[in-house]
Copies of this chain bind each other. A is one copy, B any other.
Amino acid sequence: MTPATAAERSDAARNRERLLAAAREIIQEGGAQALTMDRLAERAGVGKGTVFRRFGSRAGLLLTLLDDSEAAFQERFLFGPPPLGPGAPGLERLVAFGAARIAYVVEFGDLVLAAENASRSSRFEVPAAALWHRHIEVLLREEGFTSDPWLMAGSLGAALDPGRLLNLVRVHGITADRLAASWQDLVTRVVKGA
């Protein structure tokens, strides 16, 4: 029962585990900024080429590290209980989505930020981003928003940009509650507006 996609060689699997474990160690000790590709290779006892073969780039590595929490987050707003998941009206889900996203960014801030600005120009290819975008768009449509919902979804999503949110929280000391309130105000006005 070999899967359609060629199976992973055992040494490759072992090294992937080693690398992820080492990466988590390094981050725990010194933050995301301490995670350099050279150090990681050394710590995991593999060659540098292997690190890049596995993850493609530093951005790819960070994305992989975030993968679990990302998936959990997606699970919640796609299939979880309302108001975040399906079952509540679109506007309520939008409001909940913003609040959840803000909480998420605050929790995993370091990593998210590092992943964002590690990707060589444009965080717009991150697959997860496309999903949020689409999610917002769908909710807008559900609320009867008809004038270019795709672009509007992007504009709203930009308000939840991790770099921005973290800057507000860390540098300006804005609380998550205040951010969530402003987000609620924003989406409410957009949905009910003019």
Q: Which A residues form the contact surface with B (CB < 8 A)? A: 113, 117, 121-124, 147-148, 151-152, 154-156, 158-159, 161, 163-164, 167-168, 171, 174, 178-179, 181-183, 185-186, 188-190, 192-194
**Chain B residues with CB under 8 A of A147:** 182, 185
Chain B nearest CB: distance from A38 CB in Å?
A: 19
Please tell me which one of the listed residues B117, B124, B194 contacts residue A192 in the complex, with CB atoms under 8 A apart.
Answer: B194
Nearest neighbor of A186 in chain B, beta-carbon distance: B155
Q: How far is the CA of A175 from the CA of B182 in the complex (A)?
A: 29
Question: Is there an interface contact between B164 and A154, defined as CB atoms closer than 8 Å?
Answer: yes
Chain B contacts for A123, CB-based, 8 A: 163
Give the distance to chain B from A139, nearest Cβ to Cβ, in Å. 15
- If over half of A's interface residues share one DSSP class (helix, strand or loop), that class is named, otherwise mixed; here it is helix
| With contact pairs A188-B193, A189-B193, A190-B193 given, residues A179 and B167 touching in the complex (Cβ less than 8 Å) | no
Q: List 7 A-B contacts (CB under 8 A).
A: A121-B163, A148-B185, A154-B159, A155-B183, A158-B158, A158-B159, A188-B194
**Once bound together, how far apart are the Cα atoms of A95 and B155, in whole Å?**
15
